[in-house]
Structure 1
């Protein structure tokens, strides 16, 4: 990170937090969008109609994030996943998932900083977002650790299947629903397994919080609905007739998001999983 970026970062961070809190208050005051009316006419996803899904071809760039990859697979971001501006990512995240403007600024700005580029004029390829221990981290619910599978562009379908089978909730129509408790248990099991299988495994409070944050989008933007998460996590594709489940006027703020992230992370108990395995092996 350049000297100017280091000097301005604390001021930008404070500004984003204040901005985010004010958006949170406005969401309380202003009426939410009605289901089916979030995405305006002329924008990708209006009426549940998304641009054509085209899987990545050889040479295309993809990241460790299913949601960002889906945007490229549908042509919302350049399909080859290359030469994308951080400001374009900001705009497209906001339009596609209804994250708050503060959130949509913070994530690309954070990415620009760890890639040592300017948010205002810099560009990147999606694969660069998979820099180890930046946004990408060990113990992911949809990818094997980078020490085991260096290419983070594709999901591990066995891990995804294990995750979705954790769902214990039920929608009114009887379809399965992931809950906070389910996600905490899945993260507990995954971190235990990653520690056992990856000699280069690394973990910190920051990485754990980022892992819970990445995972918690499944409960917020997707509402925990397994029928919607299945195509997103396996094919990195938007389901037909899908729209974000966050309908607040200013989208999902970081402050509101923490109401999901913190309980999920607090519910993670790797020691309990370790003790359970030890008891099983002792029999």
Structure 2
């Protein structure tokens, strides 16, 4: 995969304006980045927020149909038709909103949103909605805990290590555990490029995407991310997590006191065939 140039994000240069549907007065009808404006709504999901910030979904985050979701996922992330259909129809079915949704609906706790997220804090006890903004301390933890198998990159094996640590503190039911694994497998698969199943994703690209909810400058998908590949990548994470929970495999984060400075060779099961 080619090197991705990442620049810092600033909204100070953008004039005051509001968004209506897909329209942005600053960047027009294209897919340039624009920070959410007053009245816009967002979710705890950086993937969908990024699509809205780039105009692949309505920039105000409102009145999104299932076909808007399918089109946005296909155009923005180059997901295959089966994968985009599965994710989009699953979302509206779980939310129980069949005509349209807003991104804010995705923050409803324990529907699609779940505890032990890598990017945002858990919903407070008794709260219906979870926090929508990424948490800087959690993002910093990911950067420190990743990179064990390839310097500067988060791999599927790293995700398994981190998820086991998160879920010790806050266990998840089977459905939400699978959602948590799948969302990271797809994020690495799309942002990391066609070889990401073995090579992982640049940690700085992950940090930039999750924190600012925008694509790195000049980034474009270099492949179609399909359902079967996403399943295989998710299975790698699940299998390694199961091995750690059963004691067959040691979680390197249990002994790591120096962040990503420790390097451990991954087992053969890390690389999906």
TM-score by length of 1: 0.68
Tell me which residue corresponds to 2:202.
225
Tell me which residue corresponds to 1:153.
132
Query: Out of 228, 237, 241, which is 1:255 matched to?
Result: 228
Query: Out of 174, 179, 187, which is 1:205 matched to?
Result: 174
Query: Structure 1, unaligned stretches of length 5 or more?
Result: 1-33, 36-49, 196-201, 278-283
Tell me which residue corresponds to 1:30.
none
Residue 184 (1) aligns with residue 160 (2): yes
Tell me which residue corresponds to 1:64.
44
SS in 1 for 2:191: coil
Q: Displacement of 1:244 after TM fit? A: 2.1
Q: Any conservation in 2 of the 1:97–1:221 contact (CA below 8 Å)? A: yes
Cα deviation 1:159-190 (Å, max 9, x = unaligned): 1111122222687xxx7111111111111122
Counterpart CA distance in 1 for 2:216 and 2:61 is 21
Displacement over 6 Å in runs of 4+ = none
Counterpart CA distance in 1 for 2:211 and 2:44 is 13
Q: Displacement of 1:82 after TM fit? A: 0.6
Q: Any conservation in 1 of the 2:66–2:89 contact (CA below 8 Å)? A: yes
1:241–1:132 distance in 2 versus 1, CA, 3 Å: same
Query: Structure 2, unaligned stretches of length 5 or more?
Result: 3-29, 193-200, 256-273
Greater share of helix: 1
Tell me which residue corresponds to 1:79.
59
Q: Displacement of 1:276 after TM fit? A: 5.1
Count matched residues: 213
1:56–1:270 distance in 2 versus 1, CA, 3 Å: farther
Counterpart CA distance in 2 for 1:170 and 1:192 is 22
Q: How does 1:1-283 map to 2 (within 5 A)?
A: 51-118=31-98, 122-147=99-124, 150-168=129-147, 176-193=152-169, 195=170, 203-223=172-192, 224-245=201-222, 247=223, 251-268=224-241, 269=244
SS in 2 for 1:124: coil
Q: Any conservation in 2 of the 1:64–1:143 contact (CA below 8 Å)? A: yes
TM-score by length of 2: 0.70
